[in-house]
Each structure stands twice: as C-alpha cells, then as structure tokens.
C-alpha cells in the first residue's frame, strides 16, 4: 500500500491510460503548460506531447463537442472542465449528443468520452464556480456518473471509466484534492454501481458520496461516543446506484439519513429517499431524513459559505429531531 493524494490517484489513472492506449488523449483549459487548475495534469505535456495533451480555447461548447466527435470516430478522449459549473455551457452536447448517440444510432456509434470536473462548494470559489451539477447529470440516460470520496476509489473508478463504452461524468470534489489515502500497488478497479459500506452499524444508516463522506464520518464518530452505532455508506456511483447495498442496510437499521452537500431541494438524495420509501417502507421506523446545503447562491465569504454548507452538527440535529438519537 502507498499513501498518495486524491489528485495523484486521478493522475495515476490517467497516466496509465495514456501509456497503454495511443487513442487516449486529454484536452481542456490550461491542462498543458499550466498543468491543470488543480495540478492533476502537471508534467503531462512534457511527457506525452502536444498531440495528446491539448490546451483548448475558453469554449466548453466547442471542446466538449470536439471530444464527442473524436469519441464517435474511434478515439478515447478525456475532457477536463475547469469547474463543474462550466458544464452548463456544454449541456446540449453532453445531454443531447453524448448521452444519446449510441441509442439513436442503434448501437452503431459509441461515445467513450470521459468528462472530468472539480465539483462542489467549500473552497471559496463563489456562486458561479461552486455548483454540483453531477446531481443533474446523474439523471441523464445513456451516460454514467461517479464521484469518489478518497484516493482508493478515485483510482479504481478512473480505471473503470477509461474502459467504459458510454460517456462518463467523473466528478471530483474540489475539497478533496489534497486528501491523503492508501492505494494498493497491485492493479484493482472499482466497478460502477457498487456502493461501499465505509463503517458498519446497527442503529441508523447514513448515506452520501464525495465530500459528504467527511461530514458523515465526523457525525458517526460523535454518535459512537454517545452509544449510537451508525452504518455509513458511500454511494461512489451516482448512476447507476447500488440500491441493493442501501436496502440491505435499511433492513438492518430501520432508520435512514441521506446527506447531499449540494442543495437539499431537488437533489440526488430526494430520489434516493423516494426509492427507499417505495421499496423498503415496511422496514422503516420513521421518515427517510434528508440533509443538504441551504437553498441560496453559494457565498464567497468563508463564514457564510460554511453556514450554507451542511455540517456534522446538522446531521446530528436531524437525527435527534426525527429519531431522538
């Protein structure tokens, strides 16, 4: 096992693909000489050259569209967006083109496009650079969507994404790029549609993904100190979702809280709560509780941003309110 940073895990996965497959190339804003906004592609231009590490103009619509065309033509492009917020500029290409071409062509055209983007608030990037639109893209048929919470999963999911025949949205929580974690030296992969039970418990099921796992694990530590055993589940894959793992946990604990570090209203956890209620209502001792960010534009001010961002105290307050724990 080797301890590496979250960004290094993603970089390792990309480097493996570049070295193993000449059809793999990366393009995006400032990914070449600058090394990427979060240093993920640092050193790639010198190592792999301008034909495979391509700095693009500031036009997401143009370079995402170019990536779709390259993928449909038989290449395997990796397109980096400087922020998940900027995916809005390319939603027509992502949603109407990339996600639908394989279906609309009767399987004649595959689009093995990997889209990467930093996502989420908490790093003082203001309202227009802090969105979590992976919660929207997880709703799009024809594409996969994943969001790791640690270096192990980041590398394992990256390896899986780079073998996928369909477009993949790889959401990278901006808060986690400097996180350290152990990664095996031997090859491994993390399959899509496989949630992970990060810690086992009997009293309540806590569900989140990405940066939300830090919040849940902190809350679970405090619950444990007070004699409450929480089972903590990391979705990892937002589309497809591993409902089998979720429902097995619900059957055991009978109580559920779902956390989304994006806004509570209209978030991914609303869908999960509805599905759990529909599929496992006989096991529930109360409502499926949801916690999320405040329904306001993300503030730049550090104090206000933290007030808007869900905290472990919010999880504990919701559990106490609904379940008395």
Main-chain phi, psi angles of 267, to 5 degrees? -85, 175
Q: Which residues of 38-59 are buried (b: 16+ CB within 10 A; e: fewer)?
A: bebbeebbeebeeebbbbbeee
- Check the CA dihedral 207-209-211-213 and report its sign: positive
Sort 208 into a burial class: Cβ within 10 Å, 0-12 / 13-18 / 19+.
buried
Residue 223 vs residues 205, 218, 288, 307: alpha-carbon distances, Å: 12, 9, 18, 22
Q: So which residues are the catalytic ones?
A: 60, 129
Residues 6+ apart with CB under 8 A from 14: 26, 40, 41, 44, 78, 158, 162
Which single residue is written with the structure tokens 């480097």? 15
H or E element, residue 72: helix 60-72
């Amino acid at each position: 096992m080797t301890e590496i940073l979250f960004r290094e895990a993603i970089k390792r996965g990309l480097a493996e693909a570049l070295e193993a497959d000449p059809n793999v190339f990366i393009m995006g804003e400032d990914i070449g000489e600058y090394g990427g906004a979060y240093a993920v592609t640092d050193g790639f231009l010198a190592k792999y050259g301008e034909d495979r590490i391509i700095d693009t103009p500031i036009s997401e619509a143009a370079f995402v569209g170019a990536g779709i065309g390259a993928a449909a033509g038989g290449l395997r492009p990796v397109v980096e967006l400087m922020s998940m917020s900027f995916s809005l500029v390319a939603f027509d290409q992502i949603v109407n083109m990339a996600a639908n071409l394989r279906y609309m062509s009767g399987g004649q055209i595959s689009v093995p496009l990997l889209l990467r983007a930093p996502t989420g608030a908490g790093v003082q990037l203001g309202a227009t650079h802090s969105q979590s639109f992976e919660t929207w893209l997880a709703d799009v048929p024809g594409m996969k969507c994943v969001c790791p919470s640690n270096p192990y999963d980041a590398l394992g999911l990256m390896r899986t994404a780079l073998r996928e025949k369909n477009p993949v949205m790889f959401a990278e929580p901006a808060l986690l790029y400097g996180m350290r974690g152990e990664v095996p030296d031997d090859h491994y992969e993390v399959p899509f549609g496989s949630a992970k039970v990060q810690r086992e418990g009997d009293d309540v099921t806590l569900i989140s993904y990405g940066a939300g796992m830090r919040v849940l694990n902190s809350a679970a530590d405090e619950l444990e100190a007070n004699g409450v055993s929480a089972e903590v589940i990391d979705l990892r894959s937002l589309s497809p979702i591993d409902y089998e793992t979720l429902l097995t946990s619900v059957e055991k604990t009978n109580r559920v809280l779902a956390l989304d570090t994006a806004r509570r209203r209209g978030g991914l956890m609303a869908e999960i709560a509805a599905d759990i209620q529909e599929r496992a209502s006989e096991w529930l001792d109360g409502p499926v509780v949801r916690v999320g960010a405040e329904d306001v534009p993300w503030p730049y001010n550090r104090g206000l941003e933290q007030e808007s961002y869900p905290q472990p105290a919010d999880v504990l307050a919701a559990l106490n309110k609904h379940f008395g724990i």
